[in-house]
Amino acid sequence: METLFIGSTGPYVMLIQSLLNRIGYHAGPVDGIFGLTTQQAILAFQRNNNLVPDGVIGPVTWNPFEHFIEGYDTYTINPGDTFYKIAQKYDTTVDAILTANPGINPNQLMIEQKIIVPYGIDVVPINVNYAYWLMEKNIEGLKARYPFLEVGVAGTSVLGKSLYYVRLGTGPNQVFYNGAHHALEWITSPMLMKFIENFAKAYAKGGNMHGYYIPDIWKKSSIYIIPMVNPDGVDLVVEGLKPTNPYYSQLLQWNNIGLPFSQVWQANIKGVDLNLNYPAGWEIAKASEQQNGMLSPSPSGYGGPSPLSEPESSVVANFTKQHLFTLVIAFHTQGRVIYWQYENMTPPIAYLITQQFSTINGYSMEAPAPSAAHAGYKDWFIQEYKKPGYTLEVGLGKNPLPISQLGPIYVENEGVLLLAAVTFAS
C-alpha cells in the first residue's frame, strides 16, 4: 500500500477519506486530496487506536484501516463477553454477528474462541474510484460477513488477476450480470458489488428490496455476477501506468491519442476491446475496423486477432457455457440506453422484458449503431442461445463517469437487477 501524507492524491486518499467519514472522523469531502482536514482526522484516529500520531498513513496505520476496508474484525472471546457487549464495542448488531458466525451458540461462548465481528458500516463504498484490489478486499469482507455467499474464480486476466464471480441464491433459474468489460466503465463494478451487498443483507434479515421478498428470490433463482471483467484495464485507468507493468513500453506506444490512460483506455492490457472480441459477427466488425484503419492494439475499438483471443472474454464465454442462463445483462456506460437486439435472432419475449426494464429505470430502448452492432457479449449470447441478452449503458456524460453518479445509477437499476432475476423463475 502507498504511504499517504499531506499533498498525496488519488484513489487511496479517497478511500481513507471515505472510511474516516463513515467511522465518525471528519475527513472533509471525499475528493482524493490529502489536506489539513484529512490530516486532522487521521491524527484523531491514530490517537484513539494507540498509534503514533504523525498524520501519515504508513504500514502501521494501514493495518487497522484494512480491517475497515474488509468490513470486519476477528475477535477473541474474553471472560464475561456476550454478543451484546461485543456488538456495542464494534458499533454493530447482535444479528450481524450471528449472521457472520453460523453454528456458534451465543449462550455457550468459550474463552479464546475466535469469531467474526462485522463493523457497523457497509463494506462497499459508493464514493471511491474503484480499483481491483479494493473489489478483492470487498469480496473478502462480504464473504466473511455473509458466509452463505458463494464466491469463486471464473478464470484470470492477462496479468493473472482473478475474475471473481459471486452467486446469490440457490434456485434453478440462473441469470448472469457482468460489469467493466471496458476499463473506463469501471463504475459498473461498484454498482454490482453494492447490489451483492444489499441483496445479501436483505436475505440475512429476511427482508425486501424494491418490493421483492429476497428469501423467495434466493430459493427460486441463482444470480451469478462477475463484477469486473477487465481488471487489468480498470487498474490502468484508476491507478495509472506503473513501470512494473510488463506491457509498459507497448502501452505507451499503443496509447497514441495523446491523452492520459485515465481518459481514453477502454481495452484490456493488450489493447484489445473485449466487447469486440466475441464470435457473433466478429469478422464483420473486423472488416469495419480495418476500413477505419484500426489495425493494431489501441485504447479502444480493436477487436483482437481472432474471436475470444483474450483470456477475459474467453473466461466470460466459458462461464456462460457452463451454466443454463435464462437471461444475461452486460453493464456499460454511458447514455441511459438499453440495447436488446442482435440481427434477427432476438427472441420475441425480449421486447416485453425490455419495456419493463425501461419503465423501471427510464432508459430508452434502442438498436446499436452499425459500428457497435457485432462482436459484443450480448450479441454472442443471443446468437448462441436465442435467449434475452442485454447491454445496459448506465449514466450520462463522458467516460469515465464521475463517482458521484454511482448512487443515482444504482437506484435506477436495482429494480432491473431484481426483475431480471425473477422473470423466468417459477
Domain span(s) for CATH 1.10.101.10 in the chain = 11-69
Does the 11-69 domain belong in CATH 2.60.40.1180?
no
Indicate if the pLDDT at residue 368 is higher than 80. no
Domain span(s) for CATH 3.40.630.10 in the chain = 132-233+309-422
Measuring CA to CA, how many Å separate 166 from each of 32, 149, 309?
29, 7, 25
Domain span(s) for CATH 3.10.350.10 in the chain = 72-118
**CATH superfamily assigned to domain 72-118:** LysM domain (3.10.350.10)
| Higher pLDDT pick, 292 / 187 | 187
Digit-coded pLDDT (tens) for 19-42: 999 999 999 999 999 999 999 999
**CATH superfamily assigned to domain 132-233+309-422:** Zn peptidases (3.40.630.10)
Digit-coded pLDDT (tens) for 58-106: 999 999 999 999 999 999 999 999 999 999 999 999 999 999 999 899 9
pLDDT score at 372: 66
Q: In what order do the strands lie in the sheet with 173-179?
A: 150-156, 162-168, 221-226, 173-179, 325-333, 389-394, 337-339, 364-366
Digit-coded pLDDT (tens) for 152-165: 999 999 999 999 99
For range 353-381, the mean pLDDT: 91
- The 8-class DSSP code of residue 175 comes to E
Indicate if the pLDDT at residue 316 is higher than 70. yes
pLDDT score at 181: 98
